[in-house]
Amino acid sequence: MFCPECESEYKDEILFCEDCRVSLIFELPEDVSLEEIKWVSLDTISGDIYAEMVKESLENAQIPCFIKTDFMISAYGVKGSGIPGTKSKIFVPDDYYDKAMEILDEMMDHD
Ligand SMILES: [Zn+2]
């Protein structure tokens, strides 16, 4: 597992970089090196559960991605709405952005 931000390598059972507060990525396509990737956010997403769903769909489509959760926002969002107060963003490599948005659109349609 790799952290896309600090580029640390982790054991497989670790899913989260505590230093950067981002989810780790499983593996990268062979022709891509971490240093060369420009990460862009798919910022139409809110709520941890939905972000996890999107991440799973992206991974199924073999698009490298990670979730970054903004814990600052969670402090203001806990007023019993049942909606997770954290705001998550999914990041994908620049090259995969269009494909990722297509997948996202499909998921939105099913809602
Ligand atoms: Zn990190």
Chain segment 80-95, per-residue pLDDT in tens: 444 555 677 889 999 9
Rounded average pLDDT over 42-54: 70
pTM above 0.85, yes or no: no
CATH class of 37-109: alpha beta
Separation of CA 56 and ligand 1 centre (Å): 20
Domains of the chain by residue range: 37-109
Separation of CA 18 and ligand 1 centre (Å): 7
To the nearest whole number, what is the mean pLDDT of the chain?
Answer: 79
> What per-residue confidence (pLDDT) applies to 91?
92
Chain segment 50-76, per-residue pLDDT in tens: 788 889 999 999 999 998 876 554 445
> What per-residue confidence (pLDDT) applies to 74?
44
Separation of CA 111 and ligand 1 centre (Å): 33
- Tell which phi-psi region holds residue 70, choosing left (phi > 0), alpha (psi between -120 and 50) or beta: beta
